[in-house]
Amino acid sequence: MTEQELKLLDRIIVQPGLMNGQPVNRGLRFPVQDIIEYMASGMTQEEILKEHPILEADDIKAALLLAAMRIREMQFAHAA
């Protein structure tokens, strides 16, 4: 993992009393999952940042990196 990736992941906080322990950005009450869902729905980074000015571009990058890491860790059962 690169130094840049580590810096991005430092933005993600998991705290039991905050948002039921969901990963959030910089301790804000803004779940990483929401960012991923916005991107999946077709919103651009610019649209997300405009609609949610509390977020920064690196928050979106961190959310995408975390999602990519989680997918990389998954094991898929292939149908025979």
pLDDT (0 to 100) of residue 73: 82
Q: What is the pLDDT of residues 9-62, one digit of tens each?
A: 999 999 998 999 999 999 899 999 999 999 999 999 999 999 999 999 999 999
Q: Running DSSP on this structure, what letter comes out for residue 20?
A: G
pLDDT tens for 68-79 read 999 888 766 665
Q: Which CATH class is domain 3-73?
A: mainly alpha
Tell me the C-alpha distance between 46 and 66, whole Å: 20
Q: Where are the domains of the chain?
A: 3-73
Q: Which 3 state secondary structure label does DSSP give 31?
A: strand
